[in-house]
Amino acid sequence: MVTTTALEERLVAIAGSVPDPELPVLTLRELGVLRAVHLRGEDAVEVELTPTYTGCPAVEAMSLDIERALHEHGVRDVTVRTVLSPAWSTDDITPEGRRKLREFGIAPPRAGARSGPVPLELGPVRTLTEAREEAEPVLCPHCGCADTELLSRFSSTACKALRRCLSCREPFDHFKEL
Protein backbone atom coordinates (compact mmCIF):
# COMPACT_ATOMS: atom_id res chain seq x y z
CA MET A 1 0.00 0.00 0.00
CA VAL A 2 1.55 3.31 -1.08
CA THR A 3 0.69 6.51 0.74
CA THR A 4 1.99 9.90 -0.26
CA THR A 5 1.00 12.30 2.51
CA ALA A 6 0.74 12.32 6.29
CA LEU A 7 -3.01 12.88 5.95
CA GLU A 8 -3.36 9.82 3.70
CA GLU A 9 -1.35 7.78 6.22
CA ARG A 10 -3.74 8.93 8.98
CA LEU A 11 -6.75 8.01 6.81
CA VAL A 12 -5.22 4.57 6.09
CA ALA A 13 -4.82 4.07 9.85
CA ILE A 14 -8.48 5.01 10.43
CA ALA A 15 -9.87 2.86 7.60
CA GLY A 16 -7.45 0.05 8.42
CA SER A 17 -8.57 -0.07 12.06
CA VAL A 18 -12.10 -1.13 11.06
CA PRO A 19 -12.75 -4.71 12.27
CA ASP A 20 -13.55 -7.39 9.71
CA PRO A 21 -17.30 -8.16 9.99
CA GLU A 22 -16.76 -11.94 9.82
CA LEU A 23 -13.56 -12.08 11.89
CA PRO A 24 -13.84 -9.10 14.26
CA VAL A 25 -10.60 -10.09 15.97
CA LEU A 26 -8.81 -8.76 12.84
CA THR A 27 -8.78 -5.28 11.37
CA LEU A 28 -9.11 -4.77 7.62
CA ARG A 29 -5.45 -3.73 7.51
CA GLU A 30 -4.33 -6.90 9.33
CA LEU A 31 -6.46 -9.02 7.00
CA GLY A 32 -4.77 -7.27 4.06
CA VAL A 33 -7.95 -6.25 2.21
CA LEU A 34 -7.41 -2.48 2.53
CA ARG A 35 -5.28 -1.60 -0.51
CA ALA A 36 -5.11 2.20 -0.56
CA VAL A 37 -6.65 5.50 0.48
CA HIS A 38 -6.47 8.45 -1.93
CA LEU A 39 -7.42 12.08 -1.39
CA ARG A 40 -9.80 13.21 -4.12
CA GLY A 41 -10.32 16.91 -3.56
CA GLU A 42 -10.63 19.06 -0.48
CA ASP A 43 -12.88 16.78 1.57
CA ALA A 44 -13.20 13.61 -0.53
CA VAL A 45 -11.50 10.24 -0.14
CA GLU A 46 -11.44 7.12 -2.30
CA VAL A 47 -10.68 3.82 -0.57
CA GLU A 48 -9.55 0.71 -2.47
CA LEU A 49 -10.72 -2.56 -0.96
CA THR A 50 -9.98 -6.08 -2.22
CA PRO A 51 -12.29 -8.83 -0.94
CA THR A 52 -10.88 -12.17 0.18
CA TYR A 53 -12.72 -13.72 -2.76
CA THR A 54 -14.88 -12.33 -5.55
CA GLY A 55 -18.24 -13.34 -4.05
CA CYS A 56 -17.38 -12.32 -0.48
CA PRO A 57 -20.67 -11.30 1.18
CA ALA A 58 -18.88 -9.06 3.69
CA VAL A 59 -17.72 -6.45 1.13
CA GLU A 60 -20.82 -4.31 1.59
CA ALA A 61 -20.50 -4.35 5.39
CA MET A 62 -16.77 -3.54 5.15
CA SER A 63 -17.50 -0.62 2.82
CA LEU A 64 -20.19 0.81 5.11
CA ASP A 65 -17.96 0.43 8.17
CA ILE A 66 -15.07 2.21 6.40
CA GLU A 67 -17.40 5.03 5.32
CA ARG A 68 -18.74 5.38 8.88
CA ALA A 69 -15.24 5.44 10.42
CA LEU A 70 -13.99 8.11 8.00
CA HIS A 71 -17.17 10.20 8.39
CA GLU A 72 -16.67 10.10 12.18
CA HIS A 73 -13.21 11.60 11.61
CA GLY A 74 -14.53 14.49 9.54
CA VAL A 75 -14.26 13.20 5.98
CA ARG A 76 -17.41 14.35 4.18
CA ASP A 77 -17.28 12.39 0.91
CA VAL A 78 -16.10 8.76 1.03
CA THR A 79 -16.10 6.37 -1.92
CA VAL A 80 -15.13 2.75 -1.39
CA ARG A 81 -14.11 1.01 -4.59
CA THR A 82 -13.76 -2.76 -4.90
CA VAL A 83 -10.48 -3.70 -6.60
CA LEU A 84 -10.12 -7.29 -7.80
CA SER A 85 -6.63 -7.11 -9.27
CA PRO A 86 -4.25 -8.03 -7.89
CA ALA A 87 -6.34 -10.66 -6.17
CA TRP A 88 -6.19 -10.95 -2.40
CA SER A 89 -4.08 -13.81 -1.06
CA THR A 90 -3.65 -15.23 2.42
CA ASP A 91 -0.07 -13.99 2.08
CA ASP A 92 -1.60 -10.50 2.54
CA ILE A 93 -2.51 -11.25 6.17
CA THR A 94 -0.01 -9.43 8.39
CA PRO A 95 2.08 -11.23 11.02
CA GLU A 96 -0.04 -9.47 13.66
CA GLY A 97 -3.18 -10.76 11.96
CA ARG A 98 -1.80 -14.31 11.96
CA ARG A 99 -0.97 -14.01 15.66
CA LYS A 100 -4.48 -12.77 16.44
CA LEU A 101 -6.08 -15.61 14.46
CA ARG A 102 -4.05 -18.15 16.42
CA GLU A 103 -4.96 -16.52 19.76
CA PHE A 104 -8.63 -16.47 18.71
CA GLY A 105 -8.51 -20.23 18.10
CA ILE A 106 -8.27 -20.20 14.29
CA ALA A 107 -5.26 -21.81 12.68
CA PRO A 108 -3.79 -19.14 10.40
CA PRO A 109 -2.95 -19.98 6.79
CA ARG A 110 0.46 -21.47 6.34
CA ALA A 111 3.09 -19.00 5.16
CA GLY A 112 4.04 -18.78 1.51
CA ALA A 113 0.66 -19.74 0.10
CA ARG A 114 0.42 -20.24 -3.62
CA SER A 115 0.12 -17.13 -5.70
CA GLY A 116 -1.46 -17.10 -9.11
CA PRO A 117 -3.41 -19.89 -10.76
CA VAL A 118 -3.95 -23.15 -8.90
CA PRO A 119 -2.13 -25.95 -10.74
CA LEU A 120 -4.29 -28.86 -11.88
CA GLU A 121 -2.84 -32.35 -12.01
CA LEU A 122 -4.81 -35.41 -13.00
CA GLY A 123 -4.04 -38.55 -11.04
CA PRO A 124 -5.21 -40.45 -7.98
CA VAL A 125 -7.99 -38.88 -5.93
CA ARG A 126 -6.01 -36.62 -3.64
CA THR A 127 -6.25 -32.90 -3.02
CA LEU A 128 -3.47 -30.34 -3.09
CA THR A 129 -4.36 -29.62 0.54
CA GLU A 130 -3.62 -33.23 1.51
CA ALA A 131 -0.31 -33.16 -0.36
CA ARG A 132 0.67 -29.88 1.28
CA GLU A 133 -0.24 -31.15 4.75
CA GLU A 134 2.27 -33.96 4.39
CA ALA A 135 4.99 -31.33 3.93
CA GLU A 136 3.62 -28.71 6.33
CA PRO A 137 0.85 -29.75 8.73
CA VAL A 138 -1.88 -27.47 10.07
CA LEU A 139 -1.00 -26.81 13.72
CA CYS A 140 -3.69 -26.83 16.40
CA PRO A 141 -4.14 -23.24 17.69
CA HIS A 142 -5.04 -24.63 21.15
CA CYS A 143 -2.11 -26.95 21.92
CA GLY A 144 0.25 -26.55 18.93
CA CYS A 145 0.06 -30.24 17.93
CA ALA A 146 0.69 -31.05 14.26
CA ASP A 147 -1.53 -34.15 14.35
CA THR A 148 -4.82 -32.70 13.04
CA GLU A 149 -7.54 -33.95 10.73
CA LEU A 150 -9.85 -32.30 8.23
CA LEU A 151 -13.52 -32.61 9.22
CA SER A 152 -15.02 -30.39 6.52
CA ARG A 153 -13.56 -28.34 3.68
CA PHE A 154 -15.96 -25.54 4.66
CA SER A 155 -16.64 -24.07 8.08
CA SER A 156 -18.45 -20.95 9.29
CA THR A 157 -17.34 -19.10 6.15
CA ALA A 158 -16.18 -20.31 2.74
CA CYS A 159 -12.61 -19.17 3.44
CA LYS A 160 -12.23 -21.49 6.45
CA ALA A 161 -12.12 -25.28 6.87
CA LEU A 162 -13.15 -27.22 9.98
CA ARG A 163 -10.42 -29.34 11.56
CA ARG A 164 -9.88 -31.29 14.80
CA CYS A 165 -6.75 -31.85 16.83
CA LEU A 166 -6.07 -35.53 17.44
CA SER A 167 -4.14 -34.72 20.62
CA CYS A 168 -6.40 -32.35 22.58
CA ARG A 169 -9.49 -33.38 20.52
CA GLU A 170 -10.62 -29.75 20.14
CA PRO A 171 -12.22 -28.69 16.86
CA PHE A 172 -10.96 -25.48 15.25
CA ASP A 173 -11.27 -23.38 12.12
CA HIS A 174 -8.36 -23.18 9.70
CA PHE A 175 -8.12 -20.12 7.47
CA LYS A 176 -7.50 -21.79 4.10
CA GLU A 177 -4.58 -20.71 1.93
CA LEU A 178 -5.61 -18.90 -1.24
pLDDT per residue of the chain (178 residues) written in tens, 0 to 9: 555 788 889 999 999 999 999 999 999 999 999 999 999 888 899 999 999 988 888 999 999 999 999 999 999 999 999 999 999 999 999 999 999 999 999 999 987 655 555 555 665 554 555 555 557 889 999 999 999 999 999 888 888 899 999 999 999 999 888 7
Q: Report domain extents, the chain.
A: 6-82, 105-175
Parallel, antiparallel, or unpaired for β 77-82 and 44-49?
A: parallel
Intra-chain end-to-end CA distance of the chain, in Å? 20
Q: Which CATH superfamily is domain 6-82 in?
A: Fe-S cluster assembly (FSCA) (3.30.300.130)
Q: Hey, is 27 helix, strand or coil? A: strand
Distance CA 12, CA 3 (A): 8
Is residue 66 within 8 A of residue 80, CB to CB? The reply is yes
Give the E-state strand segments of the chain in sequence order: 34-39, 44-49, 77-82, 106-107, 148-152, 160-165, 171-175
pLDDT at 134: 59
pLDDT at 157: 83
pLDDT at 19: 97
pLDDT at 132: 54
